[in-house]
Chains A and B, each alone.
Chain A
Amino acid sequence: MKFPLILAATLGAASPALADWQATLDAARGQTVYWNAWGGDERTNAFIAWVGEETGRLYGVNVEQVKLTDTAEAVTRVIAEKAAGNDTDGSVDLIWINGPNFLAMKEQGLLTGPFVADLPNARFVDLSPDAPAAVDFTVPVEGMESPWRLAKFVFVYDSARVTEPPRDMLGFAGWAASHPGRMTHPDPSNFMGATFLKQALIELAPDPAALQDAVTDAAFATQTAPLWDWYDALRPNLWHGGATFPDNQSVQQQLLNDGEVDISMSFDPASTAAAIAEGLLPETARVFVPEGGTIGNVSFVAIPVNAAHKEGAMVVANFLLDPATQSHMQNIEVLGSFSVLDPAKLDGDAAAAFAALPTAPALPVLDDLGPTLLEPHASWMTRLTDEWARRYTK
């Protein structure tokens, strides 16, 4: 496989940062990076395998994906290793991470960094303080994790069975009432289930701006009151009467494929077109977003503080930000994830590569997706899922 990669090292070794990068490349050669990443999606797994082949070929860095059912497993592993006094030879080199797991690791001092600014390809990313790649669930990234793919919350429906999907979150209650049992959301202990609640919270909260600050008891009571009213109306009309919930969005996608529900959700606008190509959804599956826009965030990779192969992990993080890698990733035939690079920072060739990517009927263009809403402060998510469990887990 031939790939026109923009190698930072070939741009000249004049600047000290780049000289450091050469040292990183040298140290990384021969390392095997254990990338801990959720393993429930075959296309992502295949993409990670491709990344390993490329970094092996270009830098002598091998990548082994450690497939997780939940990112927290990797966090647990790092904590267990720290508990055992393993400070330099940890088994986790790179984690696909964001949100509460990132906050927990950052607060516990379990991450290496800051390292993002040292990556040569970071110059293609908008890292200004309020940019999506610099804030993770309102928590400043501060160079402790490096972006690699864009996530934006979307709903998926089967257009053969649903003629008019709900227009906004409020509309879901009415839609479910006229189509009882035809919709559900993943368990809120799962990331996607929590996002469904957050999406509704942003739309229904009396003052959405309050969600950007750390949660207080008073703010939580005021801002979530309409949410619970809405949810109490919605829940009895959910799949299985709202008594059980699918474990995660993949299981819900399977329910959509099996025809048990008509609506599913995803954090990847391209996943529907991808799933159709994989035979995992009917040809008639389509994407929709509520009118006011949806939550968006960036997926990151982070390096645990006790990682055994830090240099290799940095080389992989840098490779992920290469414009060639990003346009390959955005190709619907590969992964279809939207790029995290700033289009304004790309040169002509790289921009052309993005423009030439193939399209598909179920693949929305960026304009269809509406505005991107900011994630609430991470503390809201914890409170929200705790409160949900308190109310509905009996």
Chain B
Amino acid sequence: MGAPLYEIRRQGRGLRATVLLAVAGGMVLPIVAGLGQTLKAAFGLFPALGHDRLSVGPWRMLFELPGFWTSLRLSVVTGLGSTLIALILAIAVAATVQGRIPARRGARLLAPYLAAPHAAMAIGFAFLLAPSGWIARALALPLGWARPPDLVTVNDPHGLILILGLVVKEMPFLLLVTLSALSQVDARRLRAVGAALGYAPGMAWIKIVLPLVWPLIRLPVYVVLAYGLSTVDMAIILGPSNPPTLAVAVARWYGDPDPAMFLPASAGAILQGAVVIAAIAALWLGERVVARLALSWLRRGGRGHGAGPVLGLLTGTAMLLLMAGAAAMVSLVLWSFAWRWPFPALWPESWSLRAWFAPGSGLGRALANTLLIALVATALSLTLAVAWLEGEDRAGLGRAGWAEGLIYLPLLVPQIGFLYGLHVVFLSTGAMTGLAAVIWAQGLFVFPYVMIALSDPWRALDPRLIRAAEALGAGPWRRLFAVKLPVLLQPLLTAAAVGVAVSVAQYLPTLFLGAGRVPTLTTEAVTLSSGSDRRVTGAYATLQAVLPFACYTLAFLVPALLYRNRRDLSGAQ
């Protein structure tokens, strides 16, 4: 036998404390410091420009900026609207496909949607839906359009297309989260009970399974909401422009030639944070209200045999949106190989590899940077996550709610709220620059997702395996390296793939902390999307989507190859 139990527990607590310290010092502290800087500027303290008196002037300026109230309204409507629609559709699909698609196959089907970064999806989606876009081209021939119709689609003033784009990107994520939560609530038996009581399959799912699943997907829904409210890259490409959503407006004010605009911009960034908090609070309240109202609905005991068509309609809509997302991605790949592709041609008129091989385009360098940052940030995050979970195991501690909150902090606080302040903090302390700073900043967002992806499978590990190893005399380290990690290879690789996907997609952290000097596929793709060459944008966006997708594929293939003679480890269920 190895070390005595109390010794292992002590080690475990130590391990977890170390990780906590790293998380607090490396994540929470900088975010708080960044928020502090922004907050100071929002209240008139910005010594570099000679503002050193506390005042509410920046707020007054903010409220008087043209279009401010519309921007605020647009943010709330698009953020809340897209989240609710994505949630309803995801639930409808989950209720319809229940039992027919196991979580793992679902993950494989949905991986391309999760892998495609928001900006790439948005660029493709814009081409699909524009008055001169793919759909319009398909209609042009039968309807005899020589010119694109003068319809307002992309960048519509109400943000409807932005809502649609957000739904296409977020619904697969919520669906995946829901499918994997199902494995934890023994949905099969619950459905059998529901069926025995005479409930229609879809209604049984909604009335019996969903209430158990909801607590497991609540935080991811909050993350989706926070993202929808504060997205900059998607809103620039798909959203309204005059005025834009609040997050875009704040980014624009930060970029105004007049340095005095810094102060109202900071106030706007703080307000952006407040909006996210308020929206999450509203969702939480809504949850209570729904829970109360639904009680009588549940007690009435409707078996829901008439609900089929509604569920069918919602599922159909969801499938249509998934197809639109796929078409958007395909259009980008086509563009990257096109030379001329004018309206109303359905396919490119002429082809070229120039977008991929043009000299001096920097594609290779951006790719190398992206890979390096993604691999390092993911490796660090994965190590940290394993250390945390192993620490919990050894200390015999369960999941702590506050720790969960800590992990989610970077995902819930809007990036624009603290990144600028963080940049100032970094510069004044001279802590890190360039690549290192970018890796660290991305880690802020990679670690939470890696932790989310890994913690459930880790905690679901069959404890008998560990006990057997212990009985055979394996110490805690051997149990970790010889039993847990090999058995958990598939979830570890999946978590790594999620980490790479998150890292590749980061735009603002890379831009701010890299001082623009660390070009990645995403920063270049977003910059290029402000230009007019859809073909080059297509090349970047394709790579941007292919990279994480390749990682997802590897995460499925490697265990399948390595464990081809171990059925339960290979992931081939």
Contacts and interface: CB of A to CB of B under 8 A. Distances in A.
A69 B530 contact: yes
Contacts of B255: 70, 72-73, 76
26 contacts: A39-B528, A39-B531, A40-B527, A42-B361, A42-B536, A45-B361, A64-B517, A66-B516, A69-B530, A86-B427, A91-B516, A101-B257, A239-B150, A244-B157, A250-B530, A258-B130, A258-B343, A259-B343, A279-B339, A279-B340, A279-B352, A393-B66, A393-B70, A393-B242, A394-B66, A394-B67
Given A68-B516, A79-B259, A393 B243 contact: yes
Interface stretch (B43-51, B404-412, B454-462): B43-51
A3 interface: no
B74 to A, nearest CB: 12
A240 B420 CA distance: 35
A240 B150 contact: yes
B433 to A, nearest CB: 8
Contacts of A155: none
B470 interface: no
B250 interface: no
Given A66-B517, A80-B424, A258 B530 contact: no
Interface string A147-169: 00000000000000100000000
B66 A390 contact: yes
Contacts of A247: 236, 241, 530
Q: Which 8 A-B pairs have CB atoms at the shortest separation, nearest pair first?
A: A40-B531, A84-B427, A83-B48, A181-B150, A258-B132, A49-B360, A84-B428, A250-B532
Given A39-B527, A69-B527, A260 B258 contact: no
Interface in B526-571: 526-528, 530-536
Contact of B241 (A41, A181, A245): A245
A251 B532 contact: yes
B530 to A, nearest CB: 5
A78 B404 CA distance: 37
Given A244-B242, A393-B243, A72 B150 contact: no
Contacts of B240: 244
Contacts of A353: none
A205 B350 CA distance: 47
A72 B256 contact: yes
A243 B157 contact: yes
B259 A187 contact: no
A81 interface: yes
B58 interface: no
Contact of B516 (A40, A77, A390): A77
Given A41-B531, A45-B360, A104-B257, 6 more contacts: A42-B358, A49-B362, A83-B427, A86-B427, A189-B252, A390-B66
B359 interface: yes
B499 interface: no
B428 A251 contact: no
Nearest to B257: A100
B527 A280 contact: no
B147 interface: yes
Contacts of A46: 358-361
B239 to A, nearest CB: 10
Contacts of A258: 130, 132, 148, 342-343
Contacts of B360: 45-46, 49-50
Interface of B: 46-49, 66-67, 70, 130-132, 147-148, 150, 152, 155-157, 236, 240-243, 252, 254-259, 262, 339-340, 342-344, 350, 352, 358-362, 420, 423-428, 433, 515-517, 519, 524, 526-528, 530-536
A75 interface: yes
B345 to A, nearest CB: 11
Contacts of A278: 533
Contacts of B362: 45, 49
A244 B358 CA distance: 33
B358 A251 contact: no
A36 B516 contact: yes
A325 interface: no
A70 B236 CA distance: 13
Nearest to B519: A67
Contacts of B528: 39-40
B241 A187 contact: yes
Q: Give the interface centre of A101, A187, A240 by most chain B CB atoms within 10 Å.
A: A240
Contacts of A82: 48
Given A40-B532, A77-B515, A104-B259, A243 B132 contact: no
A155 B236 CA distance: 25
A139 B481 CA distance: 69
B532 A394 contact: no
A282 B420 CA distance: 42
A389 interface: yes
B428 A85 contact: yes
B516 A80 contact: no
A244 B152 contact: yes
Contacts of B258: 100, 104, 382
Interface in A248-306: 248, 250-251, 253-255, 257-260, 275, 278-280, 282
A96 interface: no
Given A72-B255, A79-B48, A260-B148, A67 B524 contact: yes
B52 to A, nearest CB: 12
Contacts of A382: 258
A226 interface: no
Contacts of A103: 257
A349 B403 CA distance: 73
Contact of B131 (A73, A83, A257, A260): A260
Contact of A243 (B242, B262, B352, B533): B242
Q: Give the interface centre of A75, A108, A189 by most chain B CB atoms within 10 Å.
A: A189
A172 interface: no
B66 A389 contact: yes
A121 B48 CA distance: 36
A246 B531 CA distance: 11
A45 to B, nearest CB: 7
Nearest to B152: A240
Contacts of A73: 255, 516
A257 B240 CA distance: 22
B531 A244 contact: no
A90 B531 CA distance: 27
Nearest to A283: B340
A180 interface: yes
Contact of B526 (A69, A86, A161): A69
A34 B527 CA distance: 17
Contacts of A64: 517
Nearest to A79: B259
A241 interface: yes
Interface string A17-37: 000000000000000001010
Contacts of B342: 257-259, 282
Contacts of A390: 66
A239 B528 CA distance: 23
B147 A259 contact: yes
Contact of B533 (A42, A85, A189): A42
Contacts of B519: 67
Contacts of B155: 240, 244
A104 B425 CA distance: 24
A75 B257 contact: yes
A244 B235 CA distance: 14
B70 A394 contact: yes
Contacts of A104: 257-259
Nearest to A102: B257
Contacts of A393: 66-67, 70, 242-243
